[in-house]
Structure 1
Amino acid sequence: MAKEKFDVSFLRQSAKSAVGAPVHKVVSNTESSIRTFLKSVPAGSILVAEHTGVYGERLLKMCTDMNVKIAYVGGHVIHTYKAGPDRGKTDELDCSLLREFGERFTDRLRLATFPTEAIYELQQLSRQRTMLVEERKRVATADKAEECRPYRSETVRRSMRNLMDMLDEEIRDIEKAMLDIIGKDEGLSNSYDIITSVNGVGLVTAVELIVKTKNFTTIKTAKQYAAYAGTAPYEKSSGKMNRGAHISKWGNKRSKTLLYICAESARRYNKEIKLYYERRTIVDKKAHHYVLNAIANKLLKLVFTLIAKNEKYDPCYIQHDPRTFNKK
């Protein structure tokens, strides 16, 4: 997938070509060309495409509209599936490897669909807010650095302050637009109210969870989301060596960062989480980052459980001993 075109590799059986011979084709990444291409795709076929972000969204949208199955895989699949020291790197080779991967590992493909209009709008707003926040951090850092000068230009000082005020206003407008979209959709509004009822989880993380799970339809369990974000622990052992559980470096860094921010907030303002943090760090002598990761996973389990039960968080809830229930 590229901005202006995408390469296609497929097997075609005809009188002009050998049976099962691979064929390479280039399709313009425009609406008319994609529509013509999708009409030629045999019924029941699955397109296997490299995930390249925004460049593949038009294809995904049209596949969803025209009921054509498509699965996206990460770019690392191309480099690790059949990489060799003497292998070249071309678009034709890359798309042929994607075809081979799809043929051999059909069970590992996860079909993708274009999100709803509300979720797609939230996704764009979330990206825009992230960009504005990063830009404000850069301006604020530069403003602090300028304070070290023997004397400052008042014009530069005023310009930086005005720029930060403008960015603050833009961030507030983005957040207001997010709330407006959520308020107009009953399903999103219900999920948002449940997520934010948990102490420590706010607007930004709630939107991130809704967008990345497509309102909890594609990722349905806390374990799946923890694996996606990179907070799930994995065992590392071989023979007599056992290094215990470690978190993987693979994962969505933004989702992981937001979960850690929520965990840090929860350990300060959530009474139960605070007691848990103190017990694990003071009594069990666990490191801060280790316990913080455990708290992030606890929050995920709580959110996904509440979503499944369609209930808001109750800080006064007491879990009863299941042995005391009368069995009928």
Structure 2
Amino acid sequence: MKTKEIIGIDVSKLLIDVCIHTKQIVSQFDNSNKGFRLMLNWIKNNTNFSNQEILFVFEHTGMYSHLLSVFLTKENLSFFIASGLEIKRSIGIARGKDDKIDSKRIALYGYRLKEELNPCKLNHSSILCLKSLLSLRTKLNKQRAGFKATLKEQRTIYKTKDYKVIFEIQQKMITNLSKEIDKINRAMKAIIDDNIKLKETYKLVTSVKGIGMQTALIMIAFTDNFSKFENWRKFASYCGVAPFPYQSGTSVKGRTKVSHLANKKIKSIINMCAISAIQHNPEMRHYYKKRVLEGKNKMSTVNIIRNKLIARVFAVVKRQTPYVDTMKFAA
């Protein structure tokens, strides 16, 4: 059914500010199931449209918007989770910060694009759990790296006898963090093994040379098991490895380059995969050396390999068959 009403919601930790676009009225509720119930009653009393004609639009704020997503899904209500940057750029120049005004801006954003917005679906519980574990692992990895760097510096400067306790405590922290990281890795692998679809996708993705366990888990989580992106090019753009032209008229003729608007975490992972592929995959190594000898830019060549890996991953998932290394069949 065609969307006729937009409900803009500004979500914070404890409260939500809700705006009915056609009436331009705003009200505030608790960010809880009880508050959401009160919100629905308030909307019902202030609009003549049915639930099928209403679209809820709010910004992705991680944990704070998760409860609202779950509630709307259970109530069979349509909702769209928008990017904060996209909303910010759509409203033009804005000054100040106010939650009520923000809810009106979000409602206006949704109303302008209501014909183009496709309602979101809440990710499967396994995907949500994977994302949480990946986030926790990233934090623990950073902490471990910090302790390792500090310990290495201190051991080159301080005498072992005088700083024995400091060294022992930091080494224990590194050991304990390593154990917890291993536990997280096992938990993520268990989630994959317990879900038939995820397990099959994992096998297909890791069949591509250069793609390991960590990369496969991240790609499965951030693509919602490869259902979030229509093709590999859109995912490459999301990762920040897709090149875009930079030119205008006859005076501005910049070189084609990747955009800084990207998921830097996934981009760094894909970059490491590309470097690994150059080192261990004969086909990629030959391709890299050939382009470099031709005088091509090294980083440009690495970026091409990044895109090749992403394209291959999406290809094997789409056709549901493992990757075949054709180079070994070459004469």
Is this a same-fold pair by TM over 0.5? yes
Deviations 1:130-175 (A, max 9, x none): 1111111111111112123241411111111111111111111111
Equivalent pair of 1:9/1:96 in contact (CA under 8 Å)? yes
Matches of residues 141-180 of structure 1 in structure 2 within 5 Å? 141-152=149-160, 153-180=163-190
Deviations 1:197-241 (A, max 9, x none): 111111111111111111111113111111111111111111124
State the one-letter code of the partner of 2:287: Y
Bigger drift between 213-222 and 276-285 goes to 276-285
Matches of residues 163-242 of structure 1 in structure 2 within 5 Å? 163-240=173-250, 241-242=252-253
Matches of residues 96-175 of structure 1 in structure 2 within 5 Å? 96-152=104-160, 153-175=163-185
Equivalent pair of 1:267/1:274 in contact (CA under 8 Å)? yes
Bigger drift between 68-77 and 229-238 goes to 68-77
The percent identity for this pair of structures is 27
State how far apart, in whole Å, the 2-side matches of 1:96 and 1:185 are. 41
CA separation of 1:156 and 1:138: change in aligned 2, threshold 3 A: same
State the one-letter code of the partner of 2:84: G
Equivalent pair of 1:61/1:113 in contact (CA under 8 Å)? no
Equivalent pair of 1:38/1:68 in contact (CA under 8 Å)? no
Q: Residue 93 of structure 1: CA displacement?
A: 1.1
SS in structure 1 of the partner of residue 25 of structure 2: strand
Q: Residue 27 of structure 1: CA displacement?
A: 1.6
Equivalent pair of 2:15/2:28 in contact (CA under 8 Å)? yes
| Equivalent residue number for residue 269 of structure 1 | 280
- Among 58, 65, 68, the alignment partner of 1:59 is 68
Is residue 22 of structure 2 the alignment partner of residue 23 of structure 1?
no
Bigger drift between 108-117 and 247-256 goes to 108-117
Q: Residue 110 of structure 1: CA displacement?
A: 4.0
SS in structure 2 of the partner of residue 273 of structure 1: helix
Q: Residue 269 of structure 1: CA displacement?
A: 0.6
SS in structure 1 of the partner of residue 157 of structure 2: coil
State the one-letter code of the partner of 2:261: W
Gaps of 5+ in 1: 12-19, 321-328
State how far apart, in whole Å, the 2-side matches of 1:188 and 1:319 are. 30
State how far apart, in whole Å, the 2-side matches of 1:100 and 1:82 are. 8
| Equivalent residue number for residue 94 of structure 1 | 102
State how far apart, in whole Å, the 2-side matches of 1:88 and 1:122 are. 37
Gaps of 5+ in 2: 1-10, 45-49
Matches of residues 14-53 of structure 1 in structure 2 within 5 Å? 20-38=22-40, 40=43, 42-43=50-51, 44-53=53-62
CA separation of 1:144 and 1:284: change in aligned 2, threshold 3 A: same
State how far apart, in whole Å, the 2-side matches of 1:143 and 1:200 are. 32
CA separation of 1:291 and 1:110: change in aligned 2, threshold 3 A: farther
Equivalent pair of 1:71/1:109 in contact (CA under 8 Å)? yes
Q: Residue 247 of structure 1: CA displacement?
A: 0.5
Count of paired positions = 310
CA separation of 1:231 and 1:47: change in aligned 2, threshold 3 A: same
SS in structure 2 of the partner of residue 89 of structure 1: coil
State how far apart, in whole Å, the 2-side matches of 1:79 and 1:282 are. 45
| Equivalent residue number for residue 69 of structure 1 | 78
Q: Normalization by structure 1: what TM-score?
A: 0.89
Equivalent pair of 1:230/1:248 in contact (CA under 8 Å)? yes
| Equivalent residue number for residue 81 of structure 1 | 90
| Equivalent residue number for residue 279 of structure 1 | 290
| Equivalent residue number for residue 9 of structure 1 | 19
State how far apart, in whole Å, the 1-side matches of 2:174 and 2:56 are. 45
CA RMSD of aligned residues (A): 1.9
